[in-house]
Amino acid sequence: MKTLKWWQQAVFYQIYPRSFADGNGDGIGDFPGMLARLDHMVELGVDAIWLSPHYPSPFRDCGYDIADYTDVAPEYGSLDGFCRFLTAAHARGLRVIIDLVLNHTSDQHPWFQASRSSRTHPQRDWYVWRDGTPDGPPNNWVSIFGGSAWTYDEATGQYYYHAFLKEQPDLNWCHPDVKEAMWQVVRFWLDLGVDGFRLDAIGTIFEHPDLSNHQFPLTHKPIIDIGSLSGEEIRQILQFQIHQPGLHELMQELRTLVDTYPGERVLVGEDENVMFHGDGDNELHLVFNFPLMQTHALTPAHIRDNQALRLTDLPSGAWPCNTLGNHDVSRMWHRYGDGLHNDALARVHLALLLTLRGTPFLYYGEELGMTDLHFSALSDVRDTIALHQFRLLTEQAGVGYADALQHVLARTRDRCRTPMQWDRSRHAGFSQASSATWLPVHPNYLQGITVEDQKSDPQSMLSFCRQILALRRRTPALIAGDYRVLHPHSEHYLAFLRHDPLSGQLCLILLNFSAHVQELTLTCNRPEARLLFSSGSRSEPQLPLASVTLVPYEILIAELDPCAPYGSD
């Protein structure tokens, strides 16, 4: 059996730079602040950092509208500051991958400024320009953020295409100079020593060249919030705008480039399509298992169905990748809570993420049980997508102010991007700013939802997270083991095995997702197993297998005799 690569063994931790730590007191997170907090990641027990966009940007889409691919936004520091952060992370054994946006730039990027300056400019075709029709735009394509995907440029009399905001024009990847310019960007960061890239919105890179109109029946109505449609509706309404021919060849070319660098640099795709693994070793290394998190409740049945489908669909040689949260969705504590047992459920969900087969990605603050912040006024919102949708609702869809406000405040991504909560000092230790921080700090930092409060409390979420991460690191089966489900019809608990053929270790994982005691029997010719972890009150080091009682929301991990047969009924 092959030795696992570092990215197969690692636990990744996503940092949202603007909200993690402010080192200069201006109310905005930055590289000096992040550098000063690197030891938190080491003490937590993660292995790698995914850094959300840090580039110069007008911040129309929270940094995903990049104005310069080879520099650092001045509010975050400097390129030298980035290099100091990277060096310090590597010195602590932490890998660092950065966000790379291939599909589009900011409309303030010099490339687009040149492109829109004249129809005859050499960089005109670096973006997607088309003449309009008698009805207006070239076709009825929609922006993923709502409204038309075409914006008219008065100066040159043509429309340009944008899969997202009008301030995010799409690059034309059919132009060889665009590809070469972007590959130079990739080389720039790899030469500096980054360990890889998380590739944003890769499914949108190419569009259908015929620009055919969508025939989906909703297209005659204003499309305000694509996120409110079903997955099938989204696929139909974007059928000519996503997952077009050429994508896999492009990813193979990128993989070839990245593989010329030493150290197993990694490519992580923001997409759920396992086809981006290619033949298992010639496209992306990791592709997110988004279907796992696309549910209102993480039930044992949903998880079993997800794993059965996902692990079966992966190409031979490909490696799974799981997450339950990021900068675009409600925080895990809220998203999957029931309103009564959110804290207990959050622990079960963290344990699930860290014991399933594959590379886990954590979102900053999950280790504390940080929660969504509910905004009450539009003036508090910094999420330009939410403000864009508010305008579409009130100006195009005829929705009243109060209803539009309620819709936007319930969905703004700001609710999960609030500053990291370090201690109970002003601004939760995130910043020494004399005035407000860029987003408000959640007031529950005063109730102990902080690193300082939780680090010495053995019952805290932080202590729990550290325990599970430490257990994972020293337990080969939880990293390299295969996955085998047990008790496939149980409604309230999840039972599965992880077996690592190389070490021979076999582990049993039992997760009670309910507020009730669960009784179960494990069919085995060995009477007991060695207990590795339990969130219940278990004093004995051995676990009798003939009759197992799980207390409400218990997390139980045990090591079994690998030579003993185990039933799955």
Give the residue numbers marked as catalytic: 200, 264
| DSSP code at position 323 | E
Residues 6+ apart with CB under 8 A from 262: none
User: Exposure of 458 by Cβ count < 10 A (0-12 exposed, 13-18 middle, 19+ buried)?
Assistant: exposed
CA-CA distance, 510 to 535, in Å (whole number)? 11
Q: Which of 165, 162, 197, 195 is nearest to 69 (CA)?
A: 197
Beta-bridged to residue 510, according to DSSP, are: 495, 556
Cα distances (angstroms) measured from residue 455 to each of 28, 91, 99: 25, 23, 30
Contact 142, 237 (CB under 8 A): yes
Task: Determine contact, residues 8/409, Cβ cutoff 8 Å.
Answer: no
Give me 187's structure tokens.
Answer: 């080389």
Distance CA 559, CA 569 (A): 19
C-alpha to C-alpha distance for 82 and 87, rounded to whole angstroms: 9
**Residue reference for tokens 């969900």:** 349
- For residue 508, what are the β-bridge partners? 497, 558
3-state secondary structure of 313: helix
